Amino acid sequence: MTGQSDEEWWFARSALLGEVAPDFADRFPDVGRLESESAPEPPPADDTVSYLERQARETFTTGLGVLLDGIEAAVRRAGAP
């Protein structure tokens, strides 16, 4: 444990990304686009759900969204209606 939230930890290290991978924005333009978008408001804390379960649900929801976006893009490339 670092005593920092995930957001604080990543923010503190994000400045080093340019040194480690100077071409990151060129290689991963979608990440740059996502970074420039405003983050949605987090849902209110639910004390009845454990931290790990909440994280698992958020990860599943995000992964499912990415998967469905990929399927949609593949269907569009294939020219299907």
Mean pLDDT (the chain) is 80
> Any idea where the domains of the chain sit in the sequence?
1-39, 46-81
Q: What is the pTM of this model?
A: 0.41
Read off the pLDDT of residues 28-55 as tens digits, 9 standing for 90 and up: 888 777 767 666 666 666 677 787 888 8
The predicted pLDDT at position 23 comes to: 87
Q: How far apart are CA 3 and CA 60, in angstroms?
A: 26
More confident residue, 80 or 51: 51
Six-digit token string for 14: 């994000």
Instruction: For residue 48, give both structure tokens.
Output: 């009845």
More confident residue, 9 or 72: 72
Pick from 66, 65, 43: which is nearest to 54 by CA? Answer: 43
> What number is the average pLDDT over the span 6-28?
81
| Cα(21)–Cα(8) distance, integer angstroms | 21
Q: By the 8 A CB rule, do 38 and 44 touch? A: no
